[in-house]
Amino acid sequence: MTETANPFARLPSVDSLLAHPDIASLKQCYGHSAVVASLRSSLTELRETLSSQPDLECDLGNLITDCRQRLTIQFKPSLQPVFNLTGTVLHTNLGRALLADEAVEAVLAVLASPCNLEYNLADARRGDRDDHIDGLIRELTGAQAATVVNNNAAAVFLLLNTLAMRKEVIVSRGELIEIGGAFRIPDIMSRAGARLREVGTTNRTHLKDYAEAVGPRTALIMKVHRSNYAIEGFTATVPEGQLAELAHDKGLPFVEDLGSGTLIDLSVHGLPKEPTPQQALAKGTDLVSFSGDKLLGGPQAGILVGSKELIGKLKRNPLKRALRVDKMTLAALEATLKLYRSPELLARQLPTLRLLIRTEEDIRSLAQRILPPMQAALINQAEISIESCRSQIGSGSLPVDRLPSVSLVIKPKGKGGGKALNRLAQAFRDLPIPVVGRLENGALRFDLRCLEDEAAFISQLAMVGHGARQP
Ligand SMILES: *Cc1c(COP(=O)(O)O)cnc(C)c1O
């Protein structure tokens, strides 16, 4: 075989490529080994192409572009910002609450610098990481003491493991909930080593059901917020005050998993009321747990408030060490909680609240501004209309009440049905800032409640369908 007859002979060597000025600049950016690995992959692919198309010209420019693209994709973060146009504000799969600017700054400040995480600057002694938020939470909730763990599931787990291991916990059958992502009260309970003692029925539980269940093995009476479902019709639940009284009569603690646990009266902002930890404590609840990244609007965390004695027990459980939060969470949580000292400013400063109370008129005028560029981008591809809709709060908060909102409804033109629709939805997810909507009734729906960066959204519309997914 002559050299020209062998198509592979035309391939440049890795060494010769490394001398190219464009490759040298890639090395500046990504380092030698990543660039070499990429070049090898590009060359391997080109070799495969050449074996089926031996007459293909091998263009050096194309090869370098291919190598650069590989590096760009490799180094692009997997975890990235998206537009949440699903209509669910606190979307668990899309990261729940957005942090306030103050919280973001607080995290940045402690990220790349040492910080007094467990160090008491006043007396140079070892500190407790909970000290950074303990006083603040006590001030805001009226609790005697507080502690923070990784999330509310961890908070419930720690509570049960500490106070009810090898003992019984009395819970109403109507509260044996499952929250998305495999949090089930009975499962958490058994993993924590506690025995579930169900009382009442799905729709009705009475005080005497609880009273009759108390025995020598009872450790706790527990109430769980139903969060993501509602029971309507012939129902009965026992008010917290009565449960607390019963528990205390029997010498037991009464604890409550509040789920979302906002710190303010949401009805002030025109939203449906949610029980607060303050109210639960005022009714005699000894320990309350709630999430940091649901209605509170902070980082993922599980917050426990209650009596000094019980919080002290939780903190002494070795599992607390395994479930503790890091400095980023604490910084974000402290900054978020501080915003609650200025309740009048909360609607502006706390993104979660700002999005939840956004008016339908505001969202409609946004829809009207966005419609023309959307139509221009999808001309020949789809028909777009503006429709009223209802957003959900999400994350198990206020499951029934829904917020009036406005959507863009996008229907692919012509035939192709479901396939065309899926392709369109994919094209939006392939954008530099992926757009996540909802597919419903043969249309792609964008609820605009959570769209704040209008300019960024519009600026990438021209790329819809052109930024084909890289292999
Ligand atoms: C959301 C929720 C949980 C789980 O909280 P995470 O912070 O997601 O771990 C537990 N209990 C209730 C009642 C909830 O609503």
Which strands form 168-172's sheet, in the order they lie side by side? 145-149, 302-306, 287-291, 254-259, 218-224, 168-172, 195-199
Q: Given ligand 1 and candidates 160, 288, 291, which is best to mutate, with the most ligand atoms within 8 Å of its CB?
A: 291
Our answer on whether the CB atom of 129 is closer than 6 Å to any ligand 1 atom is no
Q: What CA–CA distance (Å, rounded) separates 10 from 153? A: 60
Report, as an integer, the average pLDDT of 48-66. 89
Region 250-263: mean pLDDT is 95
Checking if the pLDDT of 131 tops 80, the result is yes
Q: What is the pLDDT of residue 1?
A: 44
Under the banding of pLDDT at 50, 70 and 90, the label for residue 471 is: very low
Report residue 297: phi and psi, to 5°: 80, 25
Burial class (CB in 10 A: 0-12, 13-18, 19+), 274: buried
The rounded Å distance from CA 342 to ligand 1 centre is: 26
The answer to whether the CB of 291 is under 6 A from ligand 1 is: yes
CA of 102 to the centre of ligand 1 (A): 25
Q: For residue 84, is pLDDT > 70?
A: yes
Identify the bridge partners of residue 410 per DSSP, sorted by sequence position.
Answer: 384, 444
Question: Which residue from 303, 352, 296, 326 is spatially nearest to 115, judged by alpha carbons?
Answer: 326
Mean pLDDT, residues 76-103 taken together: 96
CB proximity list for 290: less than 8 A, separation 6 or greater: 152, 155, 257, 258, 259, 260, 261, 277, 296, 302, 303
Average pLDDT on 448-465 reads 95
Q: Quote the percentage of the chain above a pLDDT of 90.
A: 83
Task: Give the pLDDT of residue 233.
Answer: 85
Mutate to test the pocket of ligand 1, among 88, 91, 152 (most ligand atoms within 8 A of CB): 152
Query: How many Å lie between the centroid of ligand 1 and the Cα of residue 306?
Result: 18
What confidence category does residue 398 fall into, taking pLDDT thresholds of 50, 70 and 90? low
Ligand 1 atom having least distance to the Cα of 154: 9
Note the pLDDT tens digit of each residue in 298-343.
Answer: 999 999 999 999 999 999 999 999 999 999 999 999 999 999 999 9
Ligand 1 center to 411 CA (angstroms): 36
How far does the centroid of ligand 1 lie from the alpha carbon of residue 397, in Å?
10
Whether ligand 1 lies within 6 angstroms of the CB of 227 is answered as yes
**Which residue's CA is the closest to the ligand 1 atom numbered 13?**
259
pLDDT in tens, 375-390: 999 998 999 999 999 9
Could you give the CA distance from residue 388 to residue 37 in angstroms, rounded to a whole number? 52
- What local confidence, expressed as pLDDT, does residue 397 receive? 63
More confident call, 52 vs 355: 355
Q: Is 299 in the pocket of ligand 1 (CB under 6 A)?
A: no
Measured by CA distance, the residue closest to atom 1 of ligand 1 is 259
pTM of the model: 0.93
Q: Write out pLDDT tens, residues 421-437.
A: 999 999 999 999 999 99
Expressed in angstroms and rounded, the spacing between residue 449 Cα and the centre of ligand 1 is 24
Check pLDDT > 90 for residue 137.
yes
Choice from 189, 227, 262, 288 to test ligand 1 binding pocket (greatest atom count within 8 A of CB) = 227
Please check the confidence at residue 410 and state whether its pLDDT lies above 70.
yes
Q: What is the pLDDT of residue 251?
A: 98
Q: Which among 231-235, 333-337, 460-464 has the top mean pLDDT?
A: 333-337
Comparing CA positions, the residue from 122, 116, 137 lying closest to residue 311 is 137
Q: Is the pLDDT of residue 295 over 90?
A: yes
- Going along the chain from its start, the domains and CATH numbers come out as 7-75 (no CATH), 83-92+355-469 (3.90.1150.180), 101-346 (3.40.640.10)
Supply the residue whose CA is at minimum distance from atom 14 of ligand 1.
259
pLDDT at residue 470 tops 50:
no
- Report pLDDT for 336: 98
Cβ of 396 below 6 Å from ligand 1: yes
Residue 329's pLDDT is what?
A: 98
Please tell me if the CB atom of residue 304 comes closer than 6 angstroms to any atom of ligand 1. Answer: no
* 418: confidence class by pLDDT, cuts 50, 70, 90: confident
- Mean residue pLDDT of the chain comes to 93
Residue 11 confidence (pLDDT) above 80: yes
**Ligand 1 atom having least distance to the Cα of 293:** 7
Answer yes or no: is the C-beta of 152 below 6 A from any ligand 1 atom: yes
Relative to the CA of 225, which ligand 1 atom is closest? 13
Q: Whose CA is closest to 141, among 264, 51, 25?
A: 264
Specify the pLDDT at position 400.
64
Instruction: Produce one character per residue of 98-135: b if its CB has 16 or more CB atoms within 10 Å, e if not.
Output: bbbeebeebbeebeeeeeeeeeeeeeeeebebbebbbe
Q: What is the number of the ligand 1 atom nearest to the C-alpha of 302?
A: 7
406 contact partners, CB below 8 Å, separation of at least 6? 360, 363, 364, 366, 367, 386, 387, 388, 389, 447, 448, 449
The answer to whether residue 4 scores a pLDDT higher than 90 is: no
- Ligand 1 near 302 CB (within 6 A): yes
